[in-house]
Every structure is written in C-alpha cells, then in structure tokens.
Amino acid sequence: MTWTWFHRLGSPPYIYRLAGILTPWFGWLAGVLLVGALYDGLVIAPPDYQQGDGFRIMYVHVPTAWLSLMIYTWMAVAAAVGLIWRIKVAHAVAAACAPIGASFTAVALLTGMLFGKPMWGTYWVWDPRLTSELLLLFLYLGYMGLRSSFDDLQRADRASAVLAIVGVVNVPIVHFSVVWWNSLHQGSSLSLTGKDTIATPMLIPLLLSMLGFTLYFVAVLLVRLRGEVLRRERAASWVAEVVAT
C-alpha cells in the first residue's frame, strides 16, 4: 500500500539514490523552461501599457515571491512530519529548504527594489508586498539562526521544527496585519503589480517562469538534500561505500 512507499522515502540511502536520479531531470527541465520564459518575457512579450519595459522584471519577481512563501510552507510541513513521526529524512528536507527559501526571498526583494527605482524613483517603499517579504526573510533567518545555535543536531531539528510550524501559522496573520496597516496610510497607489488582469501574451511567460523556477527549486533541494543526508549519516556504513566509489 502507499505506506510502504512512505516508509521507503524515510530511508536515507534510498532518498540519496532517488534524489541523485531525479536531479538531472528537474535540472534540465527547469533550464529549458527558464530559458524559454526569459526569451518570451524579454523578447516576445510586449511592453506593459502603463509600466513599459520595467514591468518585465515581474517575470522574475512574481515567481520568486510566490516560491519564497511556498518553500516556507513546504519547510514547515516537512518539519512537522519530522517532529510528529520522528522521521530524520523529513528534518533533512526542512534543513535543506531554508537557505533556498531565504535566497528566493532575497531575490524577490531585490527584484522588487529594482522595479521600484524606475517606477517611483526610490529603491525602497513600504508597500505591503515588500514589507511582508522582508518579514518573511526575517522568519527564514530566525529559523536558520535557531538551527545553528545548537550543537546537538536532534535538538536543532526539533526546536526549529516547532519554530517553523509556529511561523507558518503566523504568516497569514502577519501578512493580513501588514496589508491592514498599509491601507490606513497611503491611498495604496504604490503597489507592486497593481494589476487586476494580465493580458495573455504576458501570462504565458509568467507561467513558464513560475514553473521553471519551481522545478529549479526542486532540483536545488534534491542536491542539498543529498548533501544533508550524507552529512547526517556520515557514521553509517552505506555512506562509506558511496564515498569510496
């Protein structure tokens, strides 16, 4: 039944092998999609009616922002699985996700700032999206900081799992409060996308980019996961065999 599949995923050597097999698939597919999205977004798609060519950075900003949130959720789910069922591989997944998620958040922030300069003449605005992304970055850094403050790996895994779960519950609340705060002050004319509908020629590169970045995340996660698994299981005999070959 499906539970044997689930139990096999919990076995470090199995995951190591599986990740190794899957990585090139995800990697190449991501590469193709991203190149396609880049070409489509930069060359084929028309400039935006209101925001001109500067809008093209949205093809990077929107997927990375969306992924930064998805990765945090995924990290919290993996951490919860590791905490409740005490599956070490799940903790390894959570640990591997964090730096990737933080990097995506940083990229989302940077691309948001790059969008802001030509649009509003300033690199930073306290708009709800950017502010939420910044707070999400703090959550990631806090998670990674907590992990690194323990020498005992098991305690690091379990404590950071609690933090991730608490964080993921709070993310909607934090986001809501930031949106609420922002609506009090400016006429919310400063908004990052400000679009209700996106024309189809712009939708395709956006979707390609979204998919491409997601597959890229999976590929990088698999690579990092293999490294995490090796590091955690370094005392085991199967690791010695792998390293010898």
Is residue 104 a contact partner of residue 146, using CB atoms and an 8 Å limit?
no
Kindly indicate which of the ranges 10-18, 27-35, 110-118, 147-155 contains the residues binding another protein, using the contact rule CB under 8 A.
Answer: 147-155
What span, in angstroms and rounded, lies between the C-alpha atoms of 192 and 64?
A: 14
Residue 154 interacts with another protein (CB under 8 A)?
Answer: yes
Please report, as residue ranges, which positions from 19 to 58 form the binding site for another protein (by CB under 8 A): none
Q: What's the sign of the alpha-carbon dihedral 160, 161, 162, 164?
A: positive
Residue 70 interacts with another protein (CB under 8 A)?
Answer: no
What span, in angstroms and rounded, lies between the C-alpha atoms of 93 and 85?
A: 14
CB of 178 to another protein, least distance (A): 7
Kindly indicate which of the ranges 49-57, 74-82, 142-150, 200-208 contains the residues binding another protein, using the contact rule CB under 8 A.
Answer: 142-150
CB of 153 to another protein, least distance (A): 7
What span, in angstroms and rounded, lies between the C-alpha atoms of 236 and 159?
A: 25
* Residue 112 three-state SS: helix
CB of 240 to another protein, least distance (A): 15
Contacts of 9 (CB under 8 A, 6+ apart): 15, 18, 89
Give the binding site for another protein (CB under 8 A).
Answer: 83, 86, 135, 138-139, 141-142, 145-146, 149-155, 158-159, 162-163, 165-167, 169-170, 173-174, 176-178, 180-181, 184, 235
